[in-house]
């Protein structure tokens, strides 16, 4: 979320720094790096704003061994992620930003979110959430496979092989 203001959204201080830097990012292209910092409460916000148009992309990775955990996912704020084996779609939120995570970190973050929200469910729905958590744990233990499908209408998402 770009903050278009002359004061901090947290403490209302006017003692802020806003920087915009044009940069040519690999896989994304020309972009503006936007950084907001409050010098009083230390609130920080940053954003990558692509300036070039790209074609939509669909990326699929089958996580079937520990070597795949080392791959890096660059997810744009426009990407929808499908976790095929557990029938789960992850949609971007209103305040989504570019994210860079290793595959195992991504799987752990999904598992952690499911752990957080499981208390909202009861009965059969609760059991389905627990099944998803257990499945992800088994993927991380290299006992099961997981297919990650990224659909990005803007084409900025990618997977790096490291």
User: In terms of Cα–Cα distance, which of 159, 58, 53, 19 is closest to 99?
Assistant: 159
Q: State the pLDDT at residue 95.
A: 84
Dihedral angle at the C-alpha atoms of 114, 117, 118, 121, nearest 10 degrees? Answer: -130
Q: State the pLDDT at residue 2.
A: 56
Q: Write the CA distances from 96 to 39, 92, 114, 128, 153, integer angstroms.
A: 24, 6, 18, 26, 14
Which part of the chain has CATH 2.20.25?
Answer: 1-52
Q: State the pLDDT at residue 47.
A: 87
| 57-160: CATH architecture | Sandwich (2.60)
Q: State the pLDDT at residue 39.
A: 94
CA–CA dist 7, 80 (Å, integer): 33
Q: State the pLDDT at residue 71.
A: 94
Each of the 162 residues of the chain gets a pLDDT tens digit; together they read 555 678 999 999 999 999 999 999 888 889 999 899 999 999 998 888 899 889 999 999 999 999 999 999 999 999 999 999 999 999 999 889 999 999 999 999 999 999 999 999 999 999 999 999 999 999 999 999 999 999 999 999 999 986
Which part of the chain has CATH 2.60.120.1040?
Answer: 57-160
pTM for this predicted structure: 0.83
Q: What's the CATH fold of domain 1-52? A: N-terminal domain of TfIIb (2.20.25)
């Amino acid at each position: 979320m770009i903050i278009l203001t002359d004061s901090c959204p947290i403490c209302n201080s006017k003692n802020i720094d806003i920087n915009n830097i044009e940069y040519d990012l690999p896989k994304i292209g020309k972009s503006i790096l936007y950084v907001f910092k409050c010098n009083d409460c230390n609130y920080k916000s940053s954003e990558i704003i692509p300036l070039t148009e790209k074609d939509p992309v669909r990326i699929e990775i089958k996580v079937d061994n520990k070597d795949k955990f080392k791959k890096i996912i660059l997810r744009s704020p426009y990407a929808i992620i499908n976790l095929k084996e557990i029938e789960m779609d992850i949609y971007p939120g209103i305040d989504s930003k570019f994210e860079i995570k290793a595959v195992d970190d991504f799987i752990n973050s999904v598992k952690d979110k499911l752990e957080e929200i499981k208390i909202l469910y009861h009965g059969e729905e609760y059991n389905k959430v627990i099944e998803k958590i257990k499945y992800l744990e088994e993927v991380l233990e290299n006992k099961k496979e997981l297919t990650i499908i990224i659909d990005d209408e803007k084409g900025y998402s990618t997977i790096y092989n490291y």
